[in-house]
Amino acid sequence: MSEWLLFDPMFRVPFLTGLALALALSLVGAWLRMRNEWLAALGLSQIAAAGAMAAVWLHGPALLGAFIAAAIAMLARTTLPRIGNNHYALMILIGWSATLMIGSMMDHGNVAGETFLRGQLYFASTQHLVTALILLTVVAVTYRWLSPRLLTARFFPDYHQANRIPVWPYRTCFALIVITAVVIGTTTMGAFPAFAMLFVPSWVGFVIVDGWQRSVIASMLVGTAAYLIAFVVAMLLDQPFGPMLTIVLVLAGTLRFFTARRRRIKTIAVDDLHPY
């Protein structure tokens, strides 16, 4: 593609949609990582892709089908006494297999399934942009209220019960935000690119800086930078956006190892100064 297409009005809506999602998903991913539930993002994204495929098969709106499927999976998750990575792995297997099986029963089902798995950001519409902006607004507005409660529940799990503070308001809010983020990310970017955006930025951000606030900012900066690079490179090289975003995020993940190595060297140097 010519570099002039970067300034084509046709790609303005997809670009803004992806930018809003990069910011929102990076922050939601930080919440999930802080709660050690990052694998839930991939499980829910696969379930959402299966729900979108089922909706298309039934001639309904894909976004609604994805939301219903993800909500059912999240509701089932809350009924379990203990939830772990094994349950999220089952979600991944169920969602992936259901997506392909439903696709096999449709005309051009393989094309539709590939669309939901790898995404088609270039075809994002105004509806996608509006929903992405609403998601980003909700995440930004609820951040100062939701973050302290999630942090308290993570590091002091008995605090709310001991003080008879109801937990359903923030848990319900958090669940709805996660479902919405996964659904919009999956139907716009694709299941795996959305998971990459939820996973990698916080994986890097939580290592390169210290402290919750700075880690969140670092995560959003990493996610936004990766998105901008992936969008430009994909356009210039005429490549699909989803795989390009995933590759760029994987490369961004190497920052974690360089930072970890620098910290180990610094720790060794300090220990040498105080051998006793």
Domains assigned to the chain: 3-264 (1.10.3470.10)
CB 19 within 8 A of CB 224: yes
Residue 122: Cβ within 10 Å count: 16
Instruction: Kindly state the tokens that stand for 113.
Output: 């399934």
Residue 125: Cβ within 10 Å count: 12
Give the pLDDT of the chain (276 residues) as one tens digit per residue.
445 555 667 788 899 999 999 999 999 999 999 988 888 888 888 888 888 888 888 888 888 888 898 888 888 777 765 666 677 788 888 888 887 788 777 766 565 656 666 667 887 888 889 999 999 999 999 999 999 999 998 888 888 888 888 888 888 899 899 999 998 998 888 888 999 999 999 999 998 888 899 999 999 999 999 999 999 999 888 888 888 999 999 999 888 877 755 555 444 333 333 433
Residue labelled with tokens 């046709």: 10
Q: Which of 41, 48, 60, 37 is nearest to 95 (CA)?
A: 48
- d(CA 114, CA 193) in angstroms, rounded, equals 12
CB 49 within 8 A of CB 155: no
CB 41 within 8 A of CB 195: yes
Q: Position 44: which residue type?
A: L
CB 121 within 8 A of CB 242: yes
Residue 12: Cβ within 10 Å count: 11
In order, the DSSP letters of 202-263 are: HHHHHHHS-SHHHHHHHHHHHHHHHHHHHHHHHHHHT--HHHHHHHHHHHHTHHHHHHHHHH
Instruction: Kindly state the tokens that stand for 111.
Output: 């094309």
